[in-house]
Structure 1
């Protein structure tokens, strides 16, 4: 049975070699188009997994998927706000993407560690131009700007827009932060 089908295909190839090549060529072209489309879409947004305890209770330790908007902050950097959840390349390991909450922007004066766990609670720093201050929601175990200082805005990969899985916990991340001026 299999040899019969193979014989039929080989006979067709012998009579019309270009028709088979054309079919294969079109299939390869369609696959290449799909791969290009997926690659292009990754510049606009992507579904990512977030793992680790540093963003508890906002994000679970594991098992949650989030939609990461990778376009808006590139086109409109001013769209980032205090309180936004962002992903960025870790200053300690550029191959690692981490998620933290934006706390301060250039010119802001930040209390380095209000809890006093990682630095004296009286220590303050001014966020330099082109940088931002980020912290994990679970401050007691988070490695964040208290450890590596302000991060360069060039390290930012995206802004989290929504938790999409599990469906029972679907959440659109709205920025609840209110900035108090002095």
Structure 2
């Protein structure tokens, strides 16, 4: 009888430890997120499930074109692409991105631009028109959704404080036919 009780207790301990490790990984390292809406199309689709790497910016810095998840001012998590880093000037002219007065290609938008019936995917603007500053402030990033005409992003909510970034989203794991590692 004592042996059965001891064995059961060992199983309970193992299960508790496994749950604690899983919770730690989920809370501190990686978390799943579901894409809600069409603001990141064609890169991400409504309902795509992704893994958010929560430690990527603890050991490194955000880079231009990273797809990030952050706490938006409305208390909701948003997923967008970093376009501007601290100190950058940002401008769009004729559907072309200029960072610090240099043209910067956005190859992830090429197919989407070709499928547009007419007009620009990204309307012309300068950074100071959107955030009231000529450069992205220190400790902030400027983000846009890939579906530029249907995205609530830094053009509406301003530059994003880096301390609101949850992590970098770069693996789509569901649905299976959308599986992709985004660079």
**TM-score computed with the length of structure 1 as normaliser:** 0.72
Report what 1:91 is aligned to. 73
Give the deviation of 1:139 after TM superposition: 1.6
Matched with 1:133 is 142
Question: Residue 49 of structure 2: SS of its match in structure 1?
Answer: strand
Residue equivalent to 1:51: 36
Could you say what secondary structure the match of 1:53 adopts?
coil
| 1:107 counterpart = 2:92 | no
- In our comparison, the structure showing a higher alpha carbon Rg is 1
- Change beyond 3 A, Cα 1:169–1:19: closer
Cα distance in 2, alignment partners of residues 41 and 26 from structure 1: 23
**Once the 2 structures are TM-superposed, how far is the Cα of residue 35 of structure 1 from its aligned partner?**
1.6
1:169 offset after TM fit, Å?
Answer: 2.2
Superposition pairs of residues 4-15 of structure 1, within 5 angstroms? none
The 8 Å contact of residues 83 and 102 in structure 1, kept in 2 or not, is answered as: yes
**Secondary structure of the equivalent of 2:150?**
coil
The normalised TM-score by structure 2 is 0.72
Instruction: State yes or no: 1:70 paired with 2:78.
Output: no
Q: Tell whether 2:166 aligns with 1:157.
A: yes
Corresponding residue for 2:19?
35
Cα drift, residue 26 of structure 1: 3.0
Alpha-carbon deviations, 1:87-117, whole Å to 9, x = none?
0111221xx211000011110112389615x
Change (3 A) 1:122 1:72: closer
More relative contact order, 1 or 2 (CA 8 Å, 6+ apart): 2
2-structure distance, mates of 1:66, 1:123: 30
3-state SS of paired residue (2:148):
coil
Partner Cα separation in structure 2 for residue 163 and residue 33 of structure 1: 28
Unaligned runs of 5+ in 2: 94-121
